[in-house]
């Protein structure tokens, strides 16, 4: 398995590697997902709309909306902060990795928690617009000792990469893409076993810790 995670900031094309029995090895590569839609199209985010620019101002900005970004290409992205606060309170949004109950125990009111959660959501969406994080695919491939790919690669797309997570300690920002890589590796090994290639070590072989290195 991949024993380490991708670094705190990953660019498309970066990969990690782990050794497998019989001289085989596996790589997990980050690839930019060009087909991913904007994150606010997913559930759990506030409403965002694109409006034209009126000189240096967004045209038709409504009360309760805040500017996420734009202005340089004749348009602005507006976030309905007031509506997001209502949704956050109704749906029980937490923030910074903590639940509503945990924030309540720390002395915050439901109104304060909802406002902070909406602000956290707006900050994350603004960071996506700024290119600070993006959606990627994780592609796992298995190779033999001669560097020839065996079997088909396994992949999963629309994975958040470099997602801003202030509650996580250094080195854990991209732990989820690595979790995905290990799940895909298990699938790839199962697929090879179905073809008669068993990557398990012979009986009696002592347990081995596979080292992983950056592979770019």
**DSSP codes, 110-142:** HHHHHHHHHHHHHHHHHHHHTTSSEEEEEEEEE
Give the global pTM.
0.83
pLDDT at 57: 85
Q: If you search the block for the tokens 């956290």, which residue do you land on?
A: 120
Helix (H, G, I), strand (E, B) or coil at 54: strand
Please, what are the averages of pLDDT over each run of 10 residues along the chain (216 residues)?
88 94 92 96 93 86 93 85 97 95 97 97 95 96 92 94 85 90 93 78 46 42
Which residues, including other chains, have CB under 8 Å from residue 209's CB and lie 6 or more apart?
A: 3
Q: E-strand spans in the chain?
A: 15-19, 25-32, 48-54, 57-58, 65-70, 75-80, 134-143, 154-161, 212-214
8-state DSSP, 163:
-
Distance, CA of 194 to CA of 55 (rounded, Å): 62
pLDDT at 72: 66
Picking from 160, 164, 183, the residue whose alpha carbon sits closest to that of residue 37 is 160
On the CB side of 55, CA atoms within 13 Å amount to: 0
Segment (H or E) for 88: helix 81-91
pLDDT at 71: 64
The pair of three-digit structure tokens given for residue 154, joined into one six-digit string: 């396994």
Q: If you search the block for the tokens 């008669």, which residue do you land on?
A: 196
pLDDT at 214: 47
């Amino acid at each position: 398995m991949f024993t380490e995670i991708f670094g705190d900031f990953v660019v498309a094309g970066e990969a990690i590697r782990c050794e497998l029995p019989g001289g085989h090895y596996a790589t997990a590569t980050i690839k930019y997902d060009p087909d991913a839609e904007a994150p606010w199209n997913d559930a759990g985010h506030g409403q965002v709309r694109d409006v034209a620019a009126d000189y240096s101002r967004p045209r038709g900005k409504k009360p309760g909306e805040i500017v996420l970004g734009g202005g340089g290409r004749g348009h602005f992205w507006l976030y309905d902060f007031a509506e997001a606060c209502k949704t956050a309170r109704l749906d029980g949004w937490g923030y910074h990795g903590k639940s509503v109950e945990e924030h309540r125990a720390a002395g915050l009111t439901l109104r304060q928690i909802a406002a902070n959660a909406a602000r956290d959501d707006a900050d994350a969406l603004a960071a996506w617009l700024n290119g600070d994080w993006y959606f990627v695919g994780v592609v796992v491939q298995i190779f033999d000792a001669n560097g020839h790919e065996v079997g088909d690669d396994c992949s999963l797309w629309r994975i958040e990469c470099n997602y801003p997570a202030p509650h996580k300690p250094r080195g854990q920002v991209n732990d989820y893409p690595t979790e995905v890589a290990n799940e895909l590796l298990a699938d790839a090994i199962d697929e090879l076993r179905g073809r008669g290639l068993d990557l398990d070590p012979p009986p009696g072989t002592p347990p081995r810790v596979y080292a992983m290195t950056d592979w770019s």
